[in-house]
Each structure stands twice: as C-alpha cells, then as structure tokens.
Amino acid sequence: MPAAFQVPPSPPAISTPAPAAATTNFDDAYAQARALANGGHPAEALAAYDALLTRAPGNVDVLLGRGIVHARLEHWAEAESDLRAATTTAPTYADAWSALADMYLWSGRPAQSADAYARLIALRPGDPAPYLARGRALRALGRDADARADLDKARALGATGKAADALAAALQPRAGNPDAALAHGYTWAAGLSATWTDPGRGPRWNDETVSVRHYTNAGSLAFETLRAHRFGQHDVAWALDGYVNLWSGAYANVRYQRAAAARLFPANAGRVELYQSLGNGWEASVSDDVLGFAGRVNIYGASIAKYTGDWYVQLRHQNIVSPGSHGTGERVLARWFYAGDADTYLEATLNSGRSDDPLSLVGGQSRSGGGTVTWARYWTPAWGTRVGASLARSGGAADQRALTFALYRRW
C-alpha cells in the first residue's frame, strides 16, 4: 500500500465545529490524529478519529482521514464506507474523490476507480495528475486507447517524471505479444489449444498445447505441455516460456523446450527475442530460434511494428539456416482491436518464403506462401476463445489447410 496517501492539509468550509464543552480544542485533536496517521500509528489514529466523529458526526475531514487509515490497512469495506460518506456529504471535495479513486484502484476495482477519477478530473481539469491516475485504471481495464488519450492529455498539461514514464511504458505496443504484460487485473491464465491439419496428401495431423501462465509486475512465466501426432507418429514435449521487462520500453521473450523422445519435436529448442519501443507507436525486435534436430537449425528474425489507434501491423523477416540449406521468409500481420480493448480482435497474416537446398528435387529452390485468419474474443472477463484457419502452399505440393481452436481462462 503506497505510503503517500495523505490527509488533506486543511478542512473544507462545511466542517462541523467541535462542541464547546470539549476539553481539547477540536482542531488540536484533529492535528494529533493526523500526526498519528502519518507517523505510523494506525491503531491510535483510528481511535482518535473515532473520538472526533463522536464529537462531530459527519465531519468530512475526519471521515476522509479515517478512510485513508483504513485503506492503508487494506480494510477495504471500512475505507469505502468512510470515503463514500465524505464524497456524498461534500461532492466538490477533490481530496475525498482522489482518496476514493486510489482506494478502488489499490483494492482491484479499476472500473470504480476510473469513475471516481473522472469526478476528480471534473473538479481539477487543469491538473495532469488525475489524468495519469485514471490512465492507470483504464490500462488495468484493458482500455489502452482511452488510457493513451489520458496520458496525452496529462503531458499536454505538463506532466513529466516517473508517473508519466511508468504509464507510457505500460502502454508500449505489445499487441503482438499479449503474454508479455500483466493480464489486466489478473495474475494467472490457462489455455488449451488444438490444431487439425489436412496436408492434402496422407493422413491428417493434430497438435495440442496446454499452458498455465503466471503474471507479475516484472513479466510472466508459463509452463506448457505439447503433443503432436503426425506421419503416424506421436510425440510430447514440455516448455518454459517467459517474458521479462528490461530497461524503459524494452522487454524480452526467453523460451526453452524439451522433448525426450524427439520423434517429431526437436530434442531441445530455445528462443530469445528482444523488443524495443521506438516511440510514437513503433516497436522493433530481433530474435534467434535454435532447433536441436539431428542437424541444428537457426531461425534468425527481425521485425518492425506499428501500433496506431485500434490497429497493430507488423512486418517480419526470417533467415532459416541449417546444414547444407538456407531459407528466407516474410510475413505481414494486421490485427484489428475492433472492440477497443486488448482482448478481442480480428487478425490476418500473409507470408511467403524461399529455400535453397542442393538436395532438393526441384532444382535446389522451392517457394512457399500462405495466410491465416484468426478471431479472438473474451466472452466474459475470465473466459475467452480463439478460432483460426490457415492455408499454405509449397512448390508443387498439395495445399495444406488447418483449423485451430483455443479456450482461455484467467483469474
């Protein structure tokens, strides 16, 4: 709980005066209660505020002070009761709305927090701090476009420093990697996906993946189990997949995968990709995937992406290097967040590739291409699905078609 949550320095004009019979001056008693609250003595502060409310029931300054102490102690119900009473009694008391909004955000209720910050902004339209605060709440709700608008407004009003930089970093364009950032108020997510592939000739393939991911402020880590059935063979593998925040605007994806039998999966596989924000919605990355088949395969990648409004567009180039052969590939991805949040989108990709293999039966060169369409949607805050279809063509081979379905749960 942040310790900067302070009692306002002066009471509003509507504060109720202390009874004349009191042995201690009301203002002095109020100052003593504040000193106890800010001096790290919450139990004594609560007792002092209780006594003050006995002398002056409904005093908004005392309600605010006691509500702040309860919020520091994470007594959310008591804090909400006091702070709501303060804002009801004094609807233009900006400090009370600020405390109420902070309490909602800290207790995991970003929607109520955003509403309270909106009341604060109406009272202080020229102050950049409430815009930054509401931006954090909107970011927690997945309303990145609205949060970015609040950040822009705060900067136009002169906001600088750590608070503005932290919100800007949280809003960096990670639309291509939803697993990289905290899942909007959730700390765990699980997924089950299955893909059915028709290679055009021969029996169909199927692949399944089960994953559980934990999010922290530093990034996320997932454990995955993978199963594949192709060419009449069956194989399983497990993997650890993590994202970690680095310096400002930068983060990395690190992955390790192991298959003991190595019938279809490589015995060992690894991945490292570094992402860097370039500002104004641009993001670049470089990567290296290492596949430990009988002959080692390296896939070197580089991408440039732009996040603008409700759109995310990425261009990616790859070089595939293995003993005796070399290939290249390009992919264009466009993702439309049509619902205005980070969870629901339509996506399309187009890709093309070329490989040079002196042992190939088609003159040492082959070309490939294809595309995908995907629809992802969260039907409730906790449950979501993803459905996709793909088509791939390679040289004179038959077209390859695939369908994918995934189910997600977060908590």
Query: What pLDDT digit, counting tens, does each position of 60-106 carry?
Result: 999 999 999 999 999 999 999 999 999 999 999 999 999 999 999 98
Q: Which long-range contacts (CB under 8 A, 24 or more apart) does 333-336 make?
A: 333/176, 335/175, 335/176, 335/311, 336/310, 336/311
pLDDT band at 16 (very low <50, low <70, confident <90, very high): very low
Would residue 375 count as lying in a domain?
yes
Answer with the one of 127, 149, 170 that is the final residue of a domain: 170
Domain count across the chain: 2
Provide the CATH number for the domain around residue 301.
Answer: 2.40.160.10
DSSP symbols for 79-120? HHHHHHHHHHH-TT-HHHHHHHHHHHHHTT-HHHHHHHHHHH
Provide the CATH number for the domain around residue 104.
Answer: 1.25.40.10
Residues 350-396 have pLDDT tens digits of 999 887 654 444 445 677 889 999 999 989 888 999 999 999 887 66
Q: Does one domain contain both 41 and 78?
A: yes
Q: Which residue has the higher pLDDT, 38 or 362?
A: 38
Helix (H) or strand (E) holding 32, with range, is helix 26-38
Range of the domain at 158: 26-170
Q: Does one domain contain both 217 and 327?
A: yes
Would residue 6 count as lying in a domain?
no
Residue 281 and residue 145 in contact, taking contact as beta carbons nearer than 8 Å = no
Between the alpha carbon of residue 95 and those of residues 5, 12, 67, the distances in Å are 10, 10, 12
- Residues 226 and 235: their CA atoms lie apart, in Å, by 8
Q: Does one domain contain both 166 and 38?
A: yes
> Residue 1: is its pLDDT beyond 60?
no
The percentage of residues in the chain with a pLDDT greater than 90, rounded to a whole number, is 47
Q: Which residue has the higher pLDDT, 141 or 217?
A: 141
Q: How far apart are the first and last CA of the chain?
A: 22
Would residue 2 count as lying in a domain?
no
Would residue 7 count as lying in a domain?
no
Most trustworthy range by pLDDT among 54-58, 67-71, 165-169: 67-71
Q: How distant is the alpha carbon of residue 54 from its chain centre?
A: 45
Instruction: Tokens for 326, please give them.
Output: 């070399």
Q: Does one domain contain both 133 and 240?
A: no
Q: Which residue has the higher pLDDT, 256 or 41?
A: 256
Would residue 369 count as lying in a domain?
yes
Answer with the one of 120, 144, 170 that is the final residue of a domain: 170
pTM: 0.61
Q: Does one domain contain both 134 and 38?
A: yes
Q: Does one domain contain both 218 and 288?
A: yes
Would residue 33 count as lying in a domain?
yes
Q: Does one domain contain both 361 and 227?
A: yes
Angle formed at CA 165 by CA 159 and CA 167, multiple of 5 degrees? 95
Q: Does one domain contain both 139 and 195?
A: no
Q: Does one domain contain both 276 and 245?
A: yes
Q: Residue 96: which of 59, 41, 132, 49 has the closest Cα?
A: 59
Would residue 73 count as lying in a domain?
yes
Residues 330-346 have pLDDT tens digits of 999 999 988 766 778 99
The mean pLDDT value for 248-277 works out to 91
Answer with the one of 170, 205, 223 that is the final residue of a domain: 170
Would residue 18 count as lying in a domain?
no
Give the type of residue at 62. Answer: V
pLDDT band at 172 (very low <50, low <70, confident <90, very high): low
Q: Does one domain contain both 112 and 261?
A: no
- Residues 76 and 351: their CA atoms lie apart, in Å, by 52
Per the listing, tokens 């595309």 go with 371
Q: Does one domain contain both 43 and 137?
A: yes
DSSP 19: P
Q: Does one domain contain both 239 and 132?
A: no
Least confident range of 86-95, 209-218, 251-260, 368-377 = 209-218
Tally of CA atoms within 13 A in the half-sphere of 73 that contains its CB = 20
The percentage of residues in the chain with a pLDDT greater than 70, rounded to a whole number, is 85
The CA dihedral of 296, 201, 331, 298, to the nearest 10 degrees, is 0
